[in-house]
Amino acid sequence: PVVYFASHHLRSGNCVAVTGSHNPPDYNGFKMVIAGQALSGEAVTALYRRITEGRLTLAETPGDYRTQEVGEEYVRRIADDVQLERPLKVVADAGNGVAGPLAEVLLQAIGAEVIPLYCDVDGTFPNHHPDPSEPHNLEDLVQTVKRFDADLGIAFDGDGDRLGVVTPDGTIIHADRLLMLFAADVLGRNPGAMVIYDVKCTGKLADFILRHGGSPLMWKTGHSLVKAKMAETDAELAGEMSGHFFFRERWFGFDDGLYAAARLLEILALREASPQEVLQALPDAVSTPEIKVPVADGTPHALVSLVVSAAKGEDPPFLGGRLSTIDGLRVDFPDGWGLVRASNTTPVLVLRFEADDEAALERIKALFRAQLQPLLGAQPLGF
């Protein structure tokens, strides 16, 4: 996020971050923004082909470079806009990712009391994997929040663009419910604004946004895809189940876990109720976390295409459900929904299920299981 900020602050419009994001240490890659647009999919592939084939344009005069730290400006820009009405005690777990050095500085600058956890940078990730969407990665955070009697626990992923949250009683507040809180806040100042969410988010989100005077739009998963849709629709806010939050109101519209944490604490500090009471009052349902099923490299998209074809076939397996195929297959029923899609970054199928009660959840899971198991043979599905 600091690289994205620098592209705005230094008015370059272009930036490249070297990162493996939340993937294991042996992954690496680039996040690229050209003329304000995040590259994804075919644009990245086309650039790779140009490089490997030597189809490069050479400038008549060689360029130059300079180094410049922007961390202080980043913190100052946020702290000048966000200040807590009352102090909150927060445990910040950076998972030894790059958010660590700035997390404590920023959160203290906005008025929080910060207890740092794994905020030293270590790319071997010796304590736990820096992916806050996986519940087992938050176990140390939960214990530390309880030990210090903190108001809240927050976690960041490896490159700091995602946010995870736990309450003092150890409840993980998933990102789609956090997006409700952000939406209510933003829509209070921007009635009618569009709020974008990805296909993995709760079915209760659209109704919540509508009741608060907003326009909900479900879209594909992927930070670059969401940012492009925000630019196209002038949305003020967007969020993904994985913990990416994008604020255009008062910010620049890119995903930033540290900034999202600041906005969350700002909202919670305004309420008389405790952070736990505020967060637990948000609409909820019976749901699974993201379920990841490893498959052979290159086959996730092919498998999803087969499931989509079957769902649209002559003998549809999801009777009574509303199909969405903008990103994999999501089927919404009156009492819940299920999703299967191919990951953008690793060779896995990603699934998620939600329902009004356990019986409905099991029914929907069984429908998806019946479609996937014949395609995967004896491989366990994990749900």
Which active-site residues does the annotation give? Answer: 21
203: DSSP letter: T
Centroid of chain to Cα 295: 23
| CB within 8 Å of 26: residues ≥ 6 apart | 20
Tokens in use for 343? Answer: 């990951």
| CA 343/CA 351 separation, integer angstroms | 10
Residue among 172, 170, 161, 184 at smallest CA distance from 261: 161
Token code pair at residue 182: 């952000």
CA 165 to CA 178: how far, in whole Å?
A: 9
Torsion-angle region of 223 (φ positive above 0: left; ψ -120 to 50: alpha; else: beta): alpha
Chain centroid to Cα 37, Å, comes to 18
Q: Beta strand pairing status for 286-287 and 322-324?
A: unpaired
> The tokens of 354 are what?
């939600």
Do 165 and 152 meet the contact criterion of CB atoms below 8 Å apart?
Answer: yes
Identity (one letter) of the amino acid at 250? R
Q: Is the dihedral of CA 270, 276, 280, 286 positive or negative?
A: positive
As a whole number of angstroms, the distance between CA 28 and CA 45 comes to 16
**How far is Cα 69 from Cα 310, in angstroms, rounded to an integer?**
53
